[in-house]
Amino acid sequence: MNEYISNKNLEILLDDALQKDRGLNLHIQECLYGFEKNYPDSERNKKQKNAALALCDEEVTIGVLKGAAGCGKTKIALEWALESRAKKIYWICPRVQVCEGIFKDLSLAEYLPNANIEIVTGEIKQHLVLGKVEETEEGQEFSSDIIITTIDQIINSITTHKHITTLMDFMNSHVVFDEYHEYITMQGFNLLFAELIECKKYQQNDSTLPNTLLVSATPNPLFVKEFLRLNEDDIIGIDSFNTSEYKINFIDFDEKDELSNPLMIEQENKSTFVISNTALTAQRSFIDNQTKENSILFHSKFTKKDKTKLFDEVFSSFKKNGTQKYDLLRSGPVVQASLNITCKKMISEMTHAENILQRLGRLDRFGTNNEINHYAIAITEGVKNGKSKDGSSRFLKELDSLQSAKVWYEFLENNLTGKTYHINKLYELYEKFYQDDACVEFIRQDLVSALKKGVQMIDANILDPKTFPQNRVEKNSIKIKKNSLRGSSLFVQMAKCSINSTDDFKILKEYAYEPEFDRIKRIKEKSSYNFKPNKTKKMTENVNKNIL
């Protein structure tokens, strides 16, 4: 403070604290003007504007946008920010891939190509300035007009007590929680997300415009109204403008019989997505069929470099008017939300209602298919009965989603008649599902279980704030958090393997990560982990034996 006063630049400190409008509103106005110019007197533009105005009413505490797939949620969120006089926006997402999708969308010519936009995750730190994407220098993060980041970055400002300025900036900014429904089953995050919402509630009064918006096609009314305690009147819905027809079919399969498993067998239809609940299933199905299909594999378990490359490949191939370089995408759950990609046929593993409808949002996303869009859902006997007796049901139980998936299946079986439906009709069924007391009771059981595990996760992984002296670590060195809500981590120098099929593979004399072992050992010796060389070498030898 003395330095600011002596240098007579106290206004710089005030500008940082109070946030001056550096042109964000002008960029949003230009964006909205472009939509009006390109689509004059459009009913779509009018409905989007009405939704944005309703969400920024003074009576709204925390706005909830219930936007069906294809309604233009990103544009509505920007218009809401403009009408509620935003100076800075934190766009918070549950996963890195969602961040990447939003960053790409906002960088497009029809949105905010000349705005100051930044993406900050544990893996990616880039910013868009004057239409050019550049790497963000260390220490300059969170300085743009729109910051797209994961919830981890905000939670870290609470749990580590090292970045309190980030939390203060978050509180002073407009905040968009995109695809917030994913936090429901994320142990620990669900509780801390609720705490962030409570913090933002305290900012609101009768004369304050709302500065926080929750966005999802599947709002989960139980979570919003009973757990977050938000007003039902603050939930503003808008229908999809997609008029295509959809048909849902359930396919029974036994995991032990791969010939009956639609997730594993060869697919002949072009422009098809096969989405499984785990990366392992996606990997195995890709390996088994890679010589017979023109397909691409995408999940969250790749290295940073490969993940970035594959994300660009997937996006460019399956976006609107994409290259169609690939006929088929085999994927884990990472593509199910906020990715502006589309297909003509979809096969999905059974899961709870929110995930099923989120995946549906990638099927003929832009409403251009004149034929019926077929959505096949693969389900095991264990999931049908809500019993944890096979891989699919055990995985859902681990995520506190098994009972929710079971009652969603039963509800659809009782309400779908084998006919085709428009997408808005399927969202109406989703609303009706949450009005069924018997179904809601099973969903409540899963929610309570997830929250209890969240308490245990926080108790086990969040420590009282402590500071230890740290040795200097080389720039770009490998960093692993000791305590994380995402789970325990250990760096493993993975060996590369060339696989033609499950029976035809070769272990290569290469590793997935660079630099090589000797430099990694040196970095670890200097890090706070303080690995001893002989133990590090022994660990790596054991890992290599396991891989072989």
Tens of pLDDT, residue by residue over 311-342, are 999 999 999 999 999 999 999 998 887 788 99
Query: Quick one: pLDDT at residue 283?
Result: 93
Report whether pLDDT(70) > 90. no
CA–CA separation, 490 vs 493, rounded Å? 10
Q: What is the mean pLDDT of residues 442-447?
A: 97
Query: Quick one: pLDDT at residue 519?
Result: 55
Query: Quick one: pLDDT at residue 526?
Result: 52
Query: Quick one: pLDDT at residue 205?
Result: 80
How many residues are recorded in the chain?
A: 548
Contact 339, 101 (CB under 8 A): yes
Alpha helices by DSSP H, listed for 462-510, are none
Report whether pLDDT(36) > 90. yes
Judge if 426 and 541 occupy the same domain: no
Query: Quick one: pLDDT at residue 455?
Result: 93
Report whether pLDDT(546) > 60. no
Judge if 161 and 301 occupy the same domain: no
What CATH number is given to the structural domain containing 350? 3.40.50.300
Confidence of residue 378 (pLDDT cuts 50, 70, 90): very high
Confidence of residue 528 (pLDDT cuts 50, 70, 90): very low
pLDDT digits (tens, 9 = 90+) for 405-430: 999 999 999 999 888 999 999 999 99
SS3 content of the chain, % helix, strand, coil (to 5): 45, 15, 40
CA–CA separation, 491 vs 257, rounded Å? 35
In a domain, 330, yes or no: yes
Contact 208, 85 (CB under 8 A): no
Confidence of residue 63 (pLDDT cuts 50, 70, 90): very high
**For strand 421-422 and strand 245-252, is the pairing parallel, antiparallel, or unpaired?**
antiparallel
In a domain, 228, yes or no: yes
In a domain, 35, yes or no: yes
Query: Quick one: pLDDT at residue 14?
Result: 63
Judge if 223 and 269 occupy the same domain: no
**pTM score:** 0.85
Contact 54, 67 (CB under 8 A): no
What's the alpha-carbon Rg for the chain, to the nearest Å? 24
Judge if 385 and 509 occupy the same domain: no
> Which of 238, 259, 285 marks a domain boundary?
238
Neighbouring-strand partners of residue 132: 129
Q: Which of 192-201, 375-384, 430-439, 534-543 has the lowest mean pLDDT?
A: 534-543
Which residues make Cβ contacts (< 8 Å) with residue 9, sequence separation at least 6? none
Judge if 20 and 113 occupy the same domain: yes
pLDDT digits (tens, 9 = 90+) for 450-497: 999 999 988 887 766 555 566 655 555 556 666 677 766 677 778 888
Query: Quick one: pLDDT at residue 18?
Result: 58
Judge if 232 and 276 occupy the same domain: no
What are the φ and ψ backbone dihedral angles of 346, each rounded to 5 degrees? -140, 140
Judge if 285 and 413 occupy the same domain: yes
Query: Quick one: pLDDT at residue 4?
Result: 75
Judge if 527 and 400 occupy the same domain: no
Q: What is the mean pLDDT of residues 181-208?
A: 91
In a domain, 461, yes or no: no
Contact 53, 210 (CB under 8 A): no
Judge if 223 and 99 occupy the same domain: yes
Q: What is the mean pLDDT of residues 182-209?
A: 91
Range of the domain at 256: 251-435
Which residue type occupies 483? N
Query: Quick one: pLDDT at residue 88?
Result: 94
Could you tell me what percent of the chain has a pLDDT over 70? Answer: 86
Q: Is 471 helix (H, G, I), strand (E, B) or coil?
A: coil
Confidence of residue 22 (pLDDT cuts 50, 70, 90): confident
Contact 266, 289 (CB under 8 A): yes
In a domain, 144, yes or no: yes
Report whether pLDDT(531) > 60. no
Judge if 204 and 347 occupy the same domain: no
Query: At what angle are helices 151-159 and 189-201 packed, to 10 degrees?
Result: 80
In a domain, 225, yes or no: yes
Contact 4, 12 (CB under 8 A): yes
Judge if 263 and 328 occupy the same domain: yes
In a domain, 355, yes or no: yes
Which residue type occupies 233? D
Confidence of residue 303 (pLDDT cuts 50, 70, 90): confident
Judge if 215 and 274 occupy the same domain: no
Which residue type occupies 333? P
CA–CA separation, 56 vs 212, rounded Å? 9
In a domain, 446, yes or no: no
Q: Per the structure, how many domains does the chain have?
A: 3
Read off the tokens for 133. 């994407």
Element (H or E) spanning 403, and its range?
Answer: helix 402-415
